[in-house]
Structure 1
Amino acid sequence: MSYFLMNNIPQIKPIIESISEFTDECLFTLNNNGMYVEGTDPSLISKVEFFLPKKIFDKFEIDAEESIGVNIDALSRIFRRAAPEEAVAMTVNSKSSKMELTLESNIRRAFEFTLLSTSNFNIPFLNPKYSTFIEIDSKVFRDIIKDMAIIGGTILFSVHKNNIAILTEDYTSRALAEIASDSNSIRKFEVKNTQRSKYNLNYILSFLNAFSTSEFLKISVGGTKLPLKLEYPIEEEGRFTLYLAPMEI
């Protein structure tokens, strides 16, 4: 049996809700390093990863390393009901294939779920090698993408030596945002060559719903051959990551 307790619900609540927009089911891996969550959307266009290191938890107790299948949609609906001052506790009993999620404050609310079979999951391992790395203010990037969504459903992402250009258009309208490499919103800008790639805007918007978890966003770009990688760092070692396959230009 494993037991986890965390008092900082506002830190992980938007991430759980964001993951549920990609998939209904996730694979949780529990070991001495922490909790690792991964899932893909049904079409395998995207993959999300969420790692919470052991030290982020207020209590972290496991008998042995294990992987479990979890209905992340149900988990998200409970987190939406959680108040900022509440603690969340998770108890996993693999022998009975049950997980109990408890919200604790001056009252205690407990929810029980049946675990999903891990054989249902066929999640690819991804470790692409990128040459373009950007770190940008989370809110600035989120606002740009929301602006693009007014016009179109896809974005053309162009990275040059001195700037980033994000373009969307439909039959009658067009929107373009450009960010110089020396902008105050840019924290890191490493570009070896020009990259152009196209992505589905809705997937990016779903991921950016978790923008409040980090002050900045890490972007790794691989053109038309590698997935776009977006990542929010969480404290020292935690992270929330999206891999998104490029579209044909």
Structure 2
Amino acid sequence: MFEIKIDDAKYWKNCIDSIVNLIDEGTFSISKEGITLRAMDPSGISMISFFIPNKAFSKYEVEKQSSIGLNIDNLSKILASARPGEQLLMKDSNNKFAIEFIGEKSKRRYRLPMIEVKKDVEKEPKVEFESKVEVKSDSFKDILGDANLLSTYIGFKADKDSFVVSAKGDAGELEEEHMNAAEVIKKIESEKPASATFNLDYLGRIVKACPSSSYINLSIKTDEPIKVDYKIGDAEVAYYLAPYMES
């Protein structure tokens, strides 16, 4: 049994957006410490790890750890109906996931079926990253947009001094270089130079929910999965995306 309340329903919608941009359904683990979700996308080339601690909620009552499978696409659509100033109450109700929007003078209630999700991911992949880049969220989204004009893939190269982005397609080529501790890059930590190429569509979906005023962390190892992580308030979200390898 659990009963969880958050004062800003729209904030929870933003958190769920970070998940639904990658997967349509998943299993939430609800413990006394907080809410966790780990899942692979249907293609199997990317993974999400989401955690929000109990301190993010104004009410957090959990009798024992439980797991609930939900259609996250449907959940996101319902949360999109949140109105300014509404609170959100979530609880289990007769094997249903109950959602209640609480306004100043009104309440709306939904009950969603719990589903069985076939694949659970217990652990994040272990990668000894060679370079880590902390980049402004809005600037990184602009970089992806620049590359998307020419290609469906984007290349990253990082060393202790700079972060280089490249894209190439039939329409032309792009190269951008951003120096360490500059306007776009807050910080680069690099034990050795690292480079890899990734799918632009997936990266765009991964960072879409990141607040524009935040920073995105990119952890890179040559020709290995990239880790992309950022925060949405108290929520922590991390993604792993397999590199593109030319055949």
Whether contact under 8 Å (2:69, 2:114) holds in the other structure is: yes
Query: Structure 1 pair 197/13, CA: closer, same or farther in 2 (3 Å)?
Result: same
Distance in 2 of aligned mates of 1:89 and 1:47: 28
2:124 partner amino acid: L
Could you tell me which residue of structure 2 aligns to residue 11 of structure 1?
A: 11
Give 1:101's match in structure 2, choosing from 88, 99, 107.
99
> What is the aligned partner in structure 2 of residue 79 from structure 1?
79
Q: Residue in 2 aligned with 1:184?
A: 183
Distance, in Å, in 1 between the alignment partners of 2:165 and 2:84 is 35
Offset, 1:186:
2.2
Identity of aligned residues (%): 26
1:245 matched to 2:237: no
Query: What is the TM-score normalised by the length of structure 2?
Result: 0.92
Equivalent position of 1:34 in the other structure: 34
1:127-185 per-position Cα deviation (integer Å, ceiling 9, x unaligned): 42323222111111111112211221110111123111111121232222221113133
AA matched with 1:60: Y
More off after superposition, 37-46 vs 125-134: 125-134
Q: How does 1:118-129 map onto structure 2 within 5 Å? A: 118=117, 120-123=118-121, 125-128=123-126, 129=128
Is 1:220 aligned to 2:219, yes or no?
A: yes
Q: After TM superposition, where is structure 1 displaced by more than 6 Å over at least 4 residues in a row?
A: none
Residue deviations 1:43-73, cap 9 Å, x none?
Answer: 1111112111000101101110111111111
Contact 1:52 1:239 in 2 (8 A): yes
C-alpha displacement at 1:14, in angstroms? 2.8
Specify every segment of 5 or more residues in structure 2 that has no aligned partner in the other structure, as ranges: none
Name the TM-score, length of structure 1 as normaliser: 0.91
Aligned-pair distance for 1:42? 0.8
Contact 2:138/2:212 (CA < 8 Å) preserved in 1? no
3-state SS of paired residue (2:12): helix
Instruction: Give the secondary-structure state (helix, strand or coil) at the position aligned to 1:211.
Output: coil
1:151 and 2:182 matched: no
- 1:214–1:232 CA contact under 8 A, matched in 2: no
What's the counterpart of residue 137 of structure 2?
138
Greater Cα shift, 196-205 or 98-107: 98-107
Structure 1 residues 60 and 214, CA gap change in structure 2 (3 angstroms): farther
- 2-structure distance, mates of 1:234, 1:210: 8
CA distance in 2: counterparts of 1:28 and 1:152, whole angstroms: 35
Q: Give the match's secondary structure for 1:212.
A: coil
Per-residue deviation, residues 189-218 of structure 1 (Å, max 9, x unmatched): 101111110111111111221121761111
User: Given residue 120 of structure 2, which amino acid in structure 1 is its aligned partner?
Assistant: N
From the superposition, tell whether residues 7 and 214 of structure 1 become closer, same or farther in structure 2 (CA, over 3 Å). Answer: farther
Question: Which residue number corresponds to residue 232 of structure 1?
Answer: 230
Letter in 2 for 1:135: E
The answer (yes or no) to whether the contact 2:18–2:237 under 8 Å persists in 1 is no
CA contact (8 A) 1:214 1:233 kept: no
CA RMSD of aligned residues (A): 1.8
